[in-house]
Amino acid sequence: MKDFIIKEFKQIFRDYRSMIILFGIPIAQVMLFGFALTLDLNDAHFAVLDQAKDEHSRKIIEKMDASSYFILDRNLNSREEIQKVFEGGVVREVLVFKPGFSENLDKTASTELQIITDASDPNTANMMLNYTQAIISNYEQSLLLAHGKQVLIIPETQFKYNENLKSVFMFVPGVITIILMLVSAMMTSISIAREKEMGTMEVLLVSPIKPIEIVIGKVMPYLLLSFVNFLLILGLAFTVFKMPMDGNMLLLMAEALLYILMALSLGILISTVSNSQQTAMLLSMFALLLPTILLSGFIFPIENMPSILIYLSHIMPSKWFIIIIKDVMLKGAGLKEVWFPTSIILFQTVLFISLSIKKFKIRLQ
Amino acid sequence: MEIAISVKNMVKKFGDFVANDHLNFEVYQGEIFGFLGANGAGKTTAIKILCGISSPSSGELMVAGYNIYKNRDKVKKSIGYMSQKFSLYDDLSIAENIEFYGGIYGLSRQIIKQKTAEYIHELALESYEKMRVIDLPLGIKQKLAFSVAVIHQPKIVFLDEPTSGVDPITRRQFWEMIYREAANGTTVFVTTHYMDEAEYCNRVSIMVDGRIEALGTPSELKNQYSASSMEEVFIHLARKATRID
């Protein structure tokens, strides 16, 4: 009995994989969920169109900027700039003070404040709105205390890109991103690892077929299947969830193909370092699934994470792909607007492919 | 006699470890060459180099009349290989496996069809035809793997422990297939653990600790070591091994 327990411990400690599962996963999860993935708001960028430029408007802007939840990104000069500033992607909320803001407040004890939020991420939009309203009612309180005057600032809210705050608009891009990553990368890496495990890889390497042909032969079916998968989810999004499509369908398809190619090359890279299906599976889970879900901005807003995780999220292809889908579908962005995330995914594709080729060659020595 | 494989001063090192220490031997076209050695003696390393999956550290190598450094593609077309691990696809049927490997070696549809019919008839697989390979008995899988390895009628076929784990009757049938193939002019380069199989070979080499310690026909070797069987010869030589498996 005692011997058996000792033997079991020895085996567990010698198998680094079970050690990772035992300790690595819980530590990573607690750290991520506990610290990083809070649903609090932090440093959300907002812009102001202040047509009143008076006492109260200035004070409210100052109060917003001074809070840890918001950062004043810029002042706008005209209504036309609102659209532009949202397309930039950094500013998520715009406050509009109409002329005579303070005058109304002083005379009639009631005034209007327009709050426009980018609702392509409905969670964050809701949160920003709540925090903004809290700051405003706090300001109302302070006026009451200081002057004994009951005032009412009526927020007039407007959600941009997703008027009804449908969370499906957030989930569809997220689900597409995760499914494509999983099907493409995990399946390729496992299927290549299986050839090694079964010994068929050796036979293939002895045969006249070239390594590059093996790789293309592996990749093509998954490229096709993943693309069909993409169209399927998109079809559901349009028919069942009535998701809008403001951008160019061809551009979206091209971007999806690029992303799938990136995931496939990542899968090949994973397979070059794993000799069994099990290792390939675990590596895919660790390197792909968890970060894709947690750090892509799919569920937890990236803006609110500690800076180290924000940097980490920058190297997640999934984060960039979600941005592309949302910008193209909800904001009608063209290649001109999404060239930056596109070029990141393109760069990563090239990087993964060249690394796999290098690894592949070393293995043949 | 035409030389199928020529190995001169072949060395393969992994760091400080010398897996193959100056190997020298020749294999003639059409002969059955047994490549023997204990586990860890360096057989698999050598066979992988000869098949072009691994590169030697130094040495001169000719396989099927080509320099394997310069004409790897031509060498690949002229050789067949059956790996130690079982090398068919479990989840494909017999016909699908034959079709796949035939396709890889560039055989035409017609020839593949013809070969499939031929193999199914030869191996008496009529009742198994539609079955997936995973459901076949090990002996049949092994015989099928051999047939597939020679589907493109290579000049040389490399067999890495093809009969391990197979019952004596199937082993006998397997060797009959090897003889038929050799009679057609194919050179057979085979590694094995079974010393009775060594007796079936035209010539054998015995590797100990990365070096070839003996090379000759089975009867020559038995005379040389005044042994009554290949098993005695092997044990006599392998006892000298210092490497731990």
Provide, as residue numbers in chain A, all residues whose Cβ is less than 8 Å from the Cβ of B158: 206
SS3 call for A50: strand
Give A89's pLDDT tier (boundaries 50, 70, 90): confident
Average pLDDT along chain A: 84
Does the pLDDT value for residue A289 go beyond 50?
yes
Q: How many Å lie between the alpha carbon of A214 and the closest alpha carbon of chain B?
A: 10
pLDDT at A308 > cutoff 50: yes
User: What was the pLDDT predicted at A326?
Assistant: 87
Q: Which residue has the higher pLDDT, B165 or B27?
A: B27
Half-sphere exposure of B16 (CA within 13 A, CB side): 0
Task: Please check whether residue A157 touches B, CB under 8 A.
Answer: no
**Residues of chain A contacting residue B54, judged by C-beta atoms under 8 Å apart:** 364-365
CA dist., res. B46 & res. B210, Å (int): 9
pLDDT at position A256 is: 94
A216 touches chain B (CB under 8 A): no
Here the ipTM equals 0.86
Half-sphere exposure of A318 toward its Cβ, with a 13 Å CA cutoff?
29
Tokens standing for B2? 């035409």
| Domain ranges within chain B, ordered by starting residue | 3-85+153-238
Torsion angle defined by CA atoms of residues B220, B226, B229 and B231, in that order, rounded to the nearest 10 degrees: -100
State the CB neighbour count (10 A cutoff) for residue A136.
Answer: 19
Q: What pLDDT is attached to residue A196?
A: 85
Per-residue pLDDT tens digits for A311-326: 888 888 988 999 899 8
**What integer is the mean pLDDT of B172-192?**
93
Residue indicated by tokens 């293309």 = A216
Name the closest residue on chain B to residue A364, using Cα atoms: B54
Is pLDDT at A337 greater than 50 in this prediction? yes
**Confidence class of residue A262 from pLDDT cuts 50, 70 and 90?**
very high
pLDDT tens profile B77-115: 999 999 877 778 888 889 889 999 999 998 999 999 999
Task: Give me A172's structure tokens.
Answer: 């569809």
Highest mean pLDDT among A153-167, A293-307, B129-143, B212-226: B212-226
Q: Are residues B79 and A206, on separate chains, in Cβ contact within 8 Å?
A: yes
pLDDT at A17 over 70: no
* pLDDT value of position A22: 66
Those residues whose C-beta lies under 8 Å from the C-beta of residue A51, and which sit 6 or more positions away, are A96, A97, A98, A99
CB–CB contact A198 B73 (8 Å): no
Q: Do A208 and B106 touch (CB under 8 A)?
A: yes
- Predicted confidence band of residue B54 (pLDDT cuts 50, 70, 90): confident
Topology adopted by domain B3-85+153-238 = Rossmann fold (3.40.50)
- Domain range summary for chain A, segments of one domain joined by +: 2-36, 44-160, 168-364
Is B93:B129 a contact under the CB 8 Å cutoff?
Answer: yes
CB-nearest to A205 from B53, B80, B82 is B53
* B223 touches B212 (CB < 8 A): no
pLDDT at residue A36 tops 70 = no
- Residue A179, C-beta contacts closer than 8 angstroms, at least 6 positions apart: A229, A230, A233
Which residues face B10 on adjacent strands?
A: B23
Per CATH, the number for A44-160 is: 3.40.1710.10
**Could B104 and A204 be called an inter-chain contact, meaning their C-beta atoms sit closer than 8 Å?**
yes
Q: Do B106 and A203 touch (CB under 8 A)?
A: no
The residue among B44, B47, B50, B53 with the most chain A CBs within 10 A of its CB, best to mutate, is B53
pLDDT reading at A24 higher than 80: no
Interchain CB distance below 8 Å, B104 and A200? no
Residues of A in contact with B83 (CB under 8 A): 199, 202-203
Q: Which of residues 184 through 203 in chain A touch B, CB cutoff 8 A?
A: 198-200, 202-203
Is A203 in Cβ contact with B54 (below 8 Å)? no
Per-residue pLDDT, B146: 92
Cα–Cα distance, B210 to B213 (Å, whole number): 9
Report pLDDT for B244.
53
With a cut of 90, say whether residue A218 has pLDDT above it.
no
Using an 8 Å CB-CB cutoff, list chain B residues near A205. 52-53
Nearest by CB to residue B87, choosing from A203, A209, A364, is A203
> What does pLDDT average to over chain B?
89
CB nearest to B76's CB, from A198, A202, A206: A206
Distance in Å, alpha carbon of B110 to nearest chain A alpha carbon: 20
Chain B partners of A221 at a C-beta cutoff of 8 Å? none
Residue A365 has pLDDT above 50, yes or no: no
